[in-house]
Structure 1
Amino acid sequence: MVKFEKMSETAYAAYLPEAIKEYAEEKIKAGTWAEVEAVDRSTAEYGQLLPDGIQTKQHYLFSILDDAEQTPVGMIWFQVSESTHGRTAFIFDFKIEAGHQGKGYGRQAIERLEQIARRMNIKKIKLHVFAHNARAIHLYETTGFITTDLHMTKTLN
């Protein structure tokens, strides 16, 4: 099984530059941002979302550990907000490291998140996933997530 451990400042310092780079790459791949602007825009978004780093209020960043081995296998970051539908968690980032993928850690992490969410009186968990990320979409669909919005683009030649 997996457990969540509050992300340390050291882990956050290692995570942030890689996350900014990966998010920029995903936005380029999706055709949303031009390569020339992607890293700056990604840096700006992370700065707005996490102005106080791991201390940012209502944002929860966890390292995901293999409980038996006590080794890190990934991370998850979500924000909690209030709405007319009740408390909602929005997953901003969720990653199982490449060497640990395909071993059930993703599914276990979603189950663990649901347990934590219920204790926090969260009624819904939301997320965004890039359409080209078939592996993530499969995980989310098989753990009970449904598509609520769908953005489509057509590039004209």
Structure 2
Amino acid sequence: MLTLRPLTPSEFTSFTAALKAAYALDEVQAGRGSPAEVEARIERQFATWLPDGLATEGHLLYAGVVDGDVVGHLWIGLPTPDRAQAWIYEISVEEAHRRRGHGRALMLAAEEELRARGVTRVGLNVFGHNPGALRLYESLGFETTSRQMSKTLP
């Protein structure tokens, strides 16, 4: 049974460092800039999204725990006056714990946490080059609400 608990400060540091690196790879793979451009943009984004780190109001940062082991992480933004729905900024499962249903369990735990807070809608983004995540989200009832496309010009 997976449970959620708030990240510790040291977990937050490790989580955000790993997330920034993975996000940069995804952005470069999606053709959204050179590694240096992408890394600089991501640093600016994180400074905007989480200006007070773990204490940033309206953001929930959790470890997913099974039998005492951290199997994954979850970052949720709560609804704001500018955003009518909650937002899953990140869901990740540790490499050693993948293919065991923990991603689904994290998403279901996120939904339960949001329902307990009175939230009725949640959204997320998924990179087009991540079909496994897309299948998971669709199996959980997420529907495509918009689609970005791009093309590299020779």
Q: Which interval holds the TM-score relative to the shorter structure?
A: over 0.9
Give the whole-Å Cα distance in 1 for the aligned partners of 2:135 and 2:100.
14
Structure 1: 4+ residue segments shifted above 3 A: 82-85
Matches within 5 A, 1:7-156: 7-66=7-66, 69-82=67-80, 88-156=85-153
RMSD: 1.5
Give the whole-Å Cα distance in 2 for the aligned partners of 1:9 and 1:91.
20
Q: Which runs of 5+ in 2 are unaligned?
A: none
**Deviation of residue 82 (structure 1)?**
3.6
Give the whole-Å Cα distance in 2 for the aligned partners of 1:20 and 1:108.
23
The percent of aligned pairs where both chains have the same amino acid is: 28
Give the whole-Å Cα distance in 1 for the aligned partners of 2:97 and 2:146.
30
Q: Is the 8 A contact 1:61 1:75 kept in 2?
A: yes
1:73–1:81 CA distance, 2 compared to 1 (3 A):
same
TM-score after normalising by structure 2 = 0.94
Q: How many residues align?
A: 154
Q: Is the 8 A contact 2:28 2:38 kept in 1?
A: yes
Give the whole-Å Cα distance in 2 for the aligned partners of 1:133 and 1:104.
17
**Deviation of residue 84 (structure 1)?**
8.9
Q: Which runs of 5+ in 1 are unaligned?
A: none
